[in-house]
Chain A
Amino acid sequence: MTGPAREREGHRPSRTHPAKGRKAFGNRDGGRLLVLAPALGWLVLFVAAPAAILVAIAFADSDPGVPPFRLALSVAGFAVLAEDTYYLDALLTALRVAATTAALCLLLAYPMAMGIARAAPGRRVVLLALLMLPFWTGFLLRVGAWIGLLRDEGWINSLLQSAGLADAPIPLLYTEGAMLVGMVHAYLPFAVLPLFAAFLRLDPSLGEAAADLGARPATVFLTVTLPVTAPAAAAGFLLVFIPAAGEFVIPELMGPPEAQMVGRVLWQEFFQNRDWPVAAALAVALLALLLVPIRLFQRLEARP
């Protein structure tokens, strides 16, 4: 994903004036518009329209009927969010868990990306395939596998007990640790891929030049490798952070009951409390919060 940004390097004017470039392109070639039409239609139907509906519900009044809201211009939903710290806590928990997940992913992704990029080309394909392999099996299946490993009667506890290392099952599942394991497992490739691309592009003579000037391997990593790959690391962090903040399934199936992440609270408000305006207001608040890192991500992508 950092690839296209790099290809654009040769055309500086179009990158510094993106709006101008887009306009000229639209006027000149109607055929291209035709090609873009399905994508545009998709965006309008499945992104813009649902977002508009969501915003409309967020400003609606709650109603016991079907649908459970009446269109209005009320800020009651947002007022509930502001009054009850429960919702703020849910948002903050989500941000904290997402940040922890993204940080853990980066920690794992650095050695993985470096190893894959430095492998011989034939082997690199195999390693990349192994990285992507989990994506080819069902997501719920993989969460189920983790549950099988971590639950009280699961493999890990049986192994510990038969080895005499534990007398009673150690509670592993339904802990914050289990939730983070599941999240890291699900989102790790998003952190590895941008870093892998960065390591592939990294001029090996940079590290050699640093070593030649007296830097030991650890110093080479800290003073050259890390700063040069930092934009890719930031991209990987955000690619994990943004979806992880709204994650619902993994906290629900693996997390502790008290971990009220925003995804779970949203689910409860929509389907259990049936208070759609509050749920929609919460979703809008989450979206607004995530716009900041999304914007950051876009700026990183546009860097020279």
Chain B
Amino acid sequence: MHGPLRSAGPPMLLRAEALTRRFGAMLALDALDLEIAEGEFFALLGGSGSGKSTLLRIIAGFEAPDSGRLLLDGHDIAATPPWARPVNMMFQSYALFPHMSVADNVAYGLRRAGVARGDIAARTASALAMVGLDGFERRRPHQLSGGQKQRVALARSLVMRPRLLLLDEPLGALDAGLRERTGFELRALQRETGAAFVMVTHDQEEALALADRVALLDGGRIAQVGAPRAIYERPASRFVARFLGAANVLEGQAAEGRFDSAEAAATFAGAIPAGTVAVALRPERIRITADGAGPNTAQGVVEDVAFRGDDSLVLVRLSGGATLRVAHAEEDGAPPERGASVCLAWDADAVVALAS
């Protein structure tokens, strides 16, 4: 049922058009539009209730949208049952069949597809080798560690050679030490197989580190979609700026290329288009200086300092009342003491204008 790879197709693999899904009074997906290209690693990022899991379940076929279209290669698959979709999913709980061996788990989909016996054995073996689990064929899921279960789940979906693999919080259940390594392995597998990976995660670091493109979801809509660096450095709204890397967001008034913020008691100069309602300033772009005046500087008192290894997080209460998070790099010397009066300065290109 998994069609052959088409040699000359449109680069767009999956397109969602005005997808809407309601659960009682809650709007899980609000006329959401989305495009996913052939062979890209795409992350759906958002908090709980943002609609990211509903979207993934609609793509897999476990939920039906109330309205809207879901096109795979230009064909509407919204009414196609999950067993007939050339899409596979890795579940957050891994959902390994507890009564089957590792090999039988991996071979399950091939058996359903009526693949010849010899091919099943060969493809199962190569899928297990791909995730580094050769020799585990006869184990039962309860004899595996969390990381090994995750690999079996991955092998079980990848053995189907899907064009689109859905991953529900793929690193969520792993120990911190295992996450980084598994993340790199996921990317390597994605490049190796050429399949498009769509990952759901609530962890912005994970999304930024792994994905080619990230869509940040909020209230069933896409708040912003783009390459990780682009949406990290150029957030479009207060929500995106706050969600990604906890930027400082300051309210104020825009006026002719400048932005006056009363709560910061500072003036921001830079690319400030008309209609700017707030500005974002990343903690790592703020310098602590001995003195300063004029635009793109502020005065404040150090409220607290937290050592984080490669830098220290300094909380500075500005004279206007707002508190700024400032990342003070170790190579810039010792961070200021709690209670010290400091001057803050930043470059014009660090100021990100937010329109909403």
Chain B residues, Cβ within 8 Å of A211: 61-62, 81-83
* CB-CB under 8 A for A209 and B91, given A216-B83, A304-B142: yes
Chain B residues, Cβ within 8 Å of A213: 83, 88, 108-109, 112, 156-157, 160
Min distance, Cβ B172 to any Cβ of chain A, angstroms = 14
Min distance, Cβ B191 to any Cβ of chain A, angstroms = 23
CB–CB A203/B95 < 8 A: yes
Report the bound CA distance from A216 to B81 in whole Å. Answer: 9
Chain B residues, Cβ within 8 Å of A215: 83, 108, 112
Report the bound CA distance from A223 to B104 in whole Å. Answer: 11
Please classify how large the interface on chain B is, using the bins under 10, 10 to 19, 20 to 34, 35 or more: 20 to 34
A219 interface residue per 8 A CB criterion: yes
Closest to B113 in A: A214
A–B complex contacts, Cβ < 8 Å, 28 sampled: A203-B95, A205-B91, A205-B92, A205-B95, A206-B97, A208-B60, A208-B62, A208-B95, A209-B89, A210-B108, A211-B61, A211-B62, A211-B82, A212-B60, A212-B61, A212-B82, A212-B88, A213-B83, A213-B88, A213-B157, A214-B109, A214-B112, A214-B160, A215-B108, A216-B83, A223-B108, A230-B99, A304-B142
* CB-CB under 8 A for A228 and B1, given A212-B83, A213-B156: no
Chain A residues, Cβ within 8 Å of B112: 213-215, 219
Min distance, Cβ B44 to any Cβ of chain A, angstroms = 18
Report the bound CA distance from A216 to B89 in whole Å. Answer: 16
CB–CB A208/B91 < 8 A: yes
Min distance, Cβ B61 to any Cβ of chain A, angstroms = 8
Min distance, Cβ A32 to any Cβ of chain B, angstroms = 32
A227 interface residue per 8 A CB criterion: yes
Interface centre among B1, B82, B109 (most CB of A within 10 A): B82
* CB-CB under 8 A for A209 and B83, given A214-B1, A214-B112, A219-B112: no
B83-112 interface bits toward A, Cβ cutoff 8 Å, 1 = contact, 0 = none = 110011101110111110000000011001
Those of A216-249 within 8 Å (CB) of chain B: 216, 219, 223-224, 227-228, 230
Min distance, Cβ A216 to any Cβ of chain B, angstroms = 6
CB–CB B93/A203 < 8 A: yes
Report the bound CA distance from A230 to B97 in whole Å. Answer: 13
Report the bound CA distance from A209 to B93 in whole Å. Answer: 10
Closest to B104 in A: A223
Closest to A213 in B: B109
Chain A residues, Cβ within 8 Å of B88: 212-213
Those of B149-167 within 8 Å (CB) of chain A: 156-157, 160
Min distance, Cβ A235 to any Cβ of chain B, angstroms = 16
A35-77 interface bits toward B, Cβ cutoff 8 Å, 1 = contact, 0 = none = 0000000000000000000000000000000000000000000
Chain A residues, Cβ within 8 Å of B160: 213-214
Chain B residues, Cβ within 8 Å of A205: 91-93, 95
Chain A residues, Cβ within 8 Å of B84: 214
Chain A residues, Cβ within 8 Å of B82: 208, 211-212
Return the contact of B89 from the options A206, A212, A224 (Cβ within 8 A).
A212
Chain B residues, Cβ within 8 Å of A210: 97, 108
Chain B residues, Cβ within 8 Å of A228: 97-99
Report the bound CA distance from A203 to B60 in whole Å. Answer: 17
B28-69 interface bits toward A, Cβ cutoff 8 Å, 1 = contact, 0 = none = 000000000000000000000000000000001110000000
Min distance, Cβ B148 to any Cβ of chain A, angstroms = 17
Report the bound CA distance from A216 to B84 in whole Å. Answer: 9
CB–CB A214/B93 < 8 A: no
Closest to A227 in B: B99
Closest to B2 in A: A214
Chain A residues, Cβ within 8 Å of B96: 209
Chain A residues, Cβ within 8 Å of B108: 210, 213, 215, 223
Chain A residues, Cβ within 8 Å of B156: 209, 213
Report the bound CA distance from A205 to B60 in whole Å. Answer: 12
Closest to B92 in A: A205
Report the bound CA distance from A214 to B62 in whole Å. Answer: 13
Closest to A216 in B: B83
Interface centre among A203, A209, A215, A216 (most CB of B within 10 A): A209
Min distance, Cβ A67 to any Cβ of chain B, angstroms = 54
A212-B87, A216-B83 provided; 13 other pairs, C-beta below 8 A? A203-B93, A203-B95, A205-B92, A208-B62, A209-B91, A209-B97, A212-B60, A212-B88, A213-B156, A213-B160, A223-B108, A227-B99, A228-B99
Min distance, Cβ B195 to any Cβ of chain A, angstroms = 15
Min distance, Cβ A304 to any Cβ of chain B, angstroms = 7
Closest to B82 in A: A211
Chain B residues, Cβ within 8 Å of A223: 108
Min distance, Cβ B327 to any Cβ of chain A, angstroms = 40
5 closest A-B pairs by CB? A213-B109, A214-B112, A209-B95, A205-B95, A211-B82
Chain B residues, Cβ within 8 Å of A224: 97
Closest to A206 in B: B95
Interface centre among B87, B99, B160 (most CB of A within 10 A): B99
Chain B residues, Cβ within 8 Å of A230: 99
